[in-house]
Amino acid sequence: MSLTVRPATSADAPELAELLNAIIARGGTTALERPFTPERLDATYLTGPDVLSCVVAVDRASGRLEGFQTLIREDHLPADWGDIGTFARVDGIQRGVGSALFAATRDRARELGLAAMNAEIRADNTGGLAFYGKMGFEDYKTDRAVPLGDGTPVDRINKRYVLDAPAPSEVSRERSVGQ
Ligand SMILES: CC(C)(COP(=O)(O)OP(=O)(O)OC[C@H]1O[C@@H](n2cnc3c(N)ncnc32)[C@H](O)[C@@H]1OP(=O)(O)O)[C@@H](O)C(=O)NCCC(=O)NCCS
């Protein structure tokens, strides 16, 4: 894998809007349904006032942005929680984009002194559910039959990652170091 992870900037907005709009157009995973202009993406997820952290994964060889992960404030969450969103290219050939991004977001969330991260995932998004489960998120709440734009009801699974608990990978690393 040859990825670099760095903070997102406003200059990334056009490429990331294209990346996210391809996921929205494909449908079936994200709850987002309206395409983003670069300006709205920047304000909402990259550098706007409610953005706690946003990182991008860059392919070292090509310089192409392979994915991004954002952590934002949401009024419906406790003040010391962030709401996470992760998006990797639909036509990506790199593996491990989401996990590389998560390592950086988790570090940043700890630096910020956050208590937990929330991931709200469509119940039919098996890949997203598996991804956050693998990162150490645990289910704690289900919002039933939240309608999509066309009225189709879809449950939303809320998973949380408590930040004072080390991640499973960190626990196993600490154990093997201590052995
Ligand atoms: C979910 C998403 C971010 C995962 O990104 P990714 O770069 O594929 O993730 P990684 O390769 O780092 O996966 C890490 C682990 O998560 C799990 N995982 C990821 N995608 C999975 C899938 N589709 N099915 C099952 N498990 C999956 C695997 O255990 C994987 O480890 P492995 O490859 O060693 O088996 C990506 O598929 C995506 O952008 N999906 C569309 C948007 C979305 O649904 N986002 C989540 C809701 S905001």
pLDDT value of residue 93: 77
pLDDT tens for each residue of the chain, 179 residues long: 599 999 999 999 999 999 999 999 999 888 899 999 999 999 999 999 999 999 999 999 999 999 999 999 999 999 999 999 999 999 887 789 999 999 999 999 999 999 999 999 999 999 999 999 999 999 999 999 999 988 999 999 999 999 975 555 555 554 544 44
pLDDT value of residue 79: 96
d(CA 179, CA 163): 25
Q: Which domain holds residue 94?
A: 3-178
CATH number of the structural domain spanning residue 76: 3.40.630.30
Encoded tokens for 165: 């608990």
Ligand 1 pocket list (CB less than 6 A): 23, 29-30, 85-88, 95-99, 121, 125, 127-128, 130-131, 134
- Backbone dihedral region of 96: left (phi > 0), alpha (psi from -120 to 50 degrees) or beta? left
d(CA 45, CA 104): 16
pLDDT value of residue 177: 47
Protein residue whose Cα sits closest to atom 12 of ligand 1: 96
Cα angle value 97/101/107 (rounded, 5°)? 155
pLDDT value of residue 165: 52
How many Å lie between the centroid of ligand 1 and the Cα of residue 99? 8
Specify the pTM. Answer: 0.92
Among 59, 131, 156, 159, the mutation site with the greatest number of ligand 1 atoms within 8 A of its Cβ is: 131
For 16, 48, 142, the CA distances from 70, given in Å and listed in that order, are: 12, 11, 22
d(CA 17, CA 4): 19
Per the listing, tokens 């950086």 go with 104
Question: Hey, is 138 helix, strand or coil?
Answer: strand
**Number of domains the chain contains:** 1
How many Å lie between the centroid of ligand 1 and the Cα of residue 179? 31
